[in-house]
Amino acid sequence: QTLGGYTETAGHGGWIDADGTLFEDALYVIDITAPLDDREKLRNFLITLAAEVKETLRQQAVYVKLDKAVAFV
């Protein structure tokens, strides 16, 4: 009920860790369509989902962007 739909796009990206090492990875960008009537509920849902993805896929971090706000989970 939280989501209205999504689009998944394969890509390639990179990030730099604290010691300056560049890591490059295959990635998926998932654009989610959702009602905006309760932004806090949506934000909490996305953070929880990102934490589950992080654990399941054994990632060091998952990038979440809602509007212009960014979080690394």
pLDDT score for 15: 86
CA angle 52–34–43, rounded 5-degree value = 50
Instruction: Give the tens place of pLDDT for each residue, 36-71.
Output: 777 888 888 889 999 999 999 998 889 999 888 899
Instruction: Give the tens place of pLDDT for each residue, 7-28.
Output: 999 999 998 988 999 999 898 9
pLDDT score for 9: 96
Flag whether pLDDT at 2 surpasses 70: no
Which residues, 6+ apart, have CB-to-CB distance to 14 below 8 Å?
A: 22, 23, 24, 25
